[in-house]
Structure 1
């Protein structure tokens, strides 16, 4: 019996999501005989957490489903104990549980707690998304995630799973399963597109490498943050493949333990996109995945429309754009390495990834200065709150440039500490 971790990191009210996630856990038990550890990592305020506790208490008992609801105090205590057990310095704790929002760090905590619970895989969902409904039934992604994770790709092919996988990779384990989303843009910048499509193009194009030709950049802008569009689910499709990172989203993903127990995610704070690194790593290392079409519905929560929420989210977007100066270099190096990223057991070599990261921190930051100049021009064209935000970015310019590099350095340090943390959790 597979023991899996179905995980929901959240810092907002989401009782409906918790209830729906519990139903997905029950689906995994009934259809696949899984032992589901339903993990809710709750960073919301106390009144919201209390509402979540009431929601959990009202859930019907289901054989094979165990619910774990951890607030930040409980997470901090458990992490501190694991860090101490692993013989690692206490300064590692802020990388695992930082005071600011970190999509990578919250998922890393899920990975670590999943290891402590003895799970074989982690299946992540988000609190600002919902399941589609088809023929009166919710469309649960776990239906495609569970059958093949951790098994040789050749077994899935032999069982009739549609494939476009190179036979050279058939002996590699299925390491990831995922789909995308439908609905609103995954990054909350739709208002920019409505206000001025030309400015939207200028802003979104900044996450492309600086040396890309204009046509390739235009193609990237056209498909960026759009997921699977808006067409609803009508029937199952899945393919065994090397999964294109542009075709899946972290609200709808599952990883085999052999991936996340080797390499964690970047723990960068106040940025979006920090949790997508493993998707690139799995693809570049020629590890097969299941790409399916049980897309999740994405929506934007009201706090992003408040003045404080707007400024915080736009800053995260800027930090994402600056991070790409370093990540593009790492992705290029990983793509060039290919299967050499794997050891003789077909596991990712974390030391190779760390070397690429450290190499990237030596890059000149002129390209990021150019990005900030372009952003300043774009936001001032929009005027209003966007121009006010441009003033804030101008004040924080040097700090933002420094953070983009130091985030990469922190990530390399975390990868080096990760084996000891996983061992402490597993034992």
Structure 2
């Protein structure tokens, strides 16, 4: 059987850097559901950056998964991921191989980079779409059965807007977009805030407002900033799943989360995610591309259950997480202008075949790299002042942050420059990944 005659192949991926044997078992059930209900071939890709003990537990959990027709599990530690990336980068023939490898597999935590690795591996595996979940989340249930987001993702991804209309409960897509492909399907989450700042809100709502508002564009009005603070990080609240709702439209990206997302290959093989390290929110960029291009998407209510792992709330974990939050705030100096450029470009972001023009986006990123840092200095000042108002470990974090200020300002600029570089290298990397394939044997 040729690849053209074979079943559609998808990549269901779980990046992790923590112990998550329960999640592995859960996502394997989702893979089995996709294969059984939709007749697809599923490559379940676990990208594992956890410590040796957790990796050993994960290996055992993968080994004990029941064999399921048309489901193949690939469990890769960082050494295997590095081997693949070196081969792909080498085959692409690009300059600066060491830097590209560092952007794809940095020493520090990078939400964008781990997803970029999944994108390239999905290309290597010959997949038509990618479906991402997170290790600190689970599935809702209905009548004792898990509610899998892949259901909506496979109903619509890769179809045109007009074709996808039959698979949703509500179609409000302008007919002008009906011939474009549905490039993204996603839901949100229920449970705790997606960003671990709820304690700040409990301690002092005014401080919470002042800190969270720092990620708004400075030119916004007080009313707009207030609405942003109200909507930030809350997901779908706490309402449990009772029945399917799905809307086809140019998406409202406030109602989407990267723990509950599926992308068509024509999107993620064109544009990567920002590879910034130690920065929350660095993996949401493609949502903005889809909205402003504009491309059809489906937003559904099979929301993931979000929960926090204990390590981010104590000791070094608390400091590391709060630093990621601060770096997210600083990244907005560069990303808001890029988002505005995306919005201004609108339909010009797509070529005649409705594919994203990656070179345009790289240009936006390069142009903003020299932005005046004064706004980021102000952001750091506000964080310092407001965290000291909270006292306790927040004041201690402010002490930790103070000597890092210049380094963080430099890193924020370097991150947007690295993003532009990676966009320009992305097409050759994808082609090389597809040619290299994945030599690692399935588990």
Q: CA deviation at 1:159?
A: 5.8
Q: Hey, what does 2:342 align to over in structure 1?
A: 334
Task: Give, in angstroms, the shift of residue 197 of structure 1.
Answer: 0.7
Secondary structure (helix, strand or coil) at the match of 1:147 reads helix
Q: How far apart are the structure 1 equivalents of 2:165 and 2:58?
A: 42
Is 1:358 the counterpart of 2:366? The answer is yes
* Partner deviation per Cα, 1:310-344 (whole Å, 9 max, x = no partner): 00000000000000111110001101111110011
Q: Deviations over 1:5-54 (max 9, x none)?
A: 00000000000000000000000011100100000000001110000011
In the alignment, is residue 114 of structure 1 matched against residue 128 of structure 2? no
Work out the CA distance in 2 between the residues paired with 1:168 and 1:161.
20
Q: Secondary structure at the match of 2:277?
A: coil
Give the alignment partner of residue 126 of structure 1, picking from 134, 144, 148.
134
Deviating beyond 3 angstroms after TM superposition, the runs of 4 or more aligned structure 1 residues are 158-161
Q: Aligned residue pairs: how many? A: 427
Equivalences for 1:192-341 in 2 at 5 Å? 192-341=200-349
Distance 1:169 1:264 in 2: 24
Match of 2:91 in 1: 85
Query: Distance between the aligned counterparts of 1:164 and 1:150, measured in 2?
Result: 18
Query: CA shift at 1:2, angstroms?
Result: 1.4
Offset at 1:168?
1.1
Question: Which residue number corresponds to residue 7 of structure 1?
Answer: 13
The answer to whether the aligner puts 1:412 opposite 2:417 as a matched pair is: no
* Cα RMSD after superposing both structures: 0.9
Question: What is the DSSP-based 3-state SS (H/G/I as helix, E as strand, rest coil) of the residue aligned with 1:227?
Answer: coil
Whether the aligned pair in 1 keeps the contact of 2:168 and 2:245 (CA below 8 Å) is: no
Q: In the alignment, which residue of structure 1 is the partner of 2:40? A: 34
- Show the counterpart of 1:150: 158
**Where does structure 2 lack aligned partners over 5 or more consecutive residues?**
1-6, 436-443
Aligned equivalent of 2:4 = none
Deviation at 1:80, TM superposition (A): 0.5
Q: 1:138 to 1:335 in 2, by over 3 A?
A: same
**Could you say what secondary structure the match of 1:146 adopts?**
helix
Partner residue of 1:23 out of 10, 29, 46: 29
Residues 248-280 of structure 1: CA deviation (Å, up to 9, x unaligned): 000000000000000000000001000000011
Separation of aligned partners in 1, 2:104 and 2:32: 30
- For 2:184 and 2:286, the matched residues in 1 are separated by 9
Q: Deviations over 1:141-176 (max 9, x none)?
A: 000000221111111225665211111111110000
| Residue from 43, 57, 75 that aligns with 2:81 | 75
Report what 1:343 is aligned to.
351
CA distance in 2, matches of 1:157, 1:340: 25
- Are residues 1:66 and 2:72 paired? yes
Unaligned regions of 5+ residues in structure 1, if any? none
State the 1:296 CA deviation.
Answer: 0.3
Q: What corresponds to 1:49 in structure 2?
A: 55
CA distance in 2: counterparts of 1:288 and 1:294, whole angstroms: 19
Return closer, same or farther for 1:167/1:54 CA change in 2, 3 Å cut-off: same
Q: Partner of 2:384: helix, strand, or coil? A: helix
Q: C-alpha deviations, 1:73-95, integer Å up to 9, x for none?
A: 11001111111111123221000
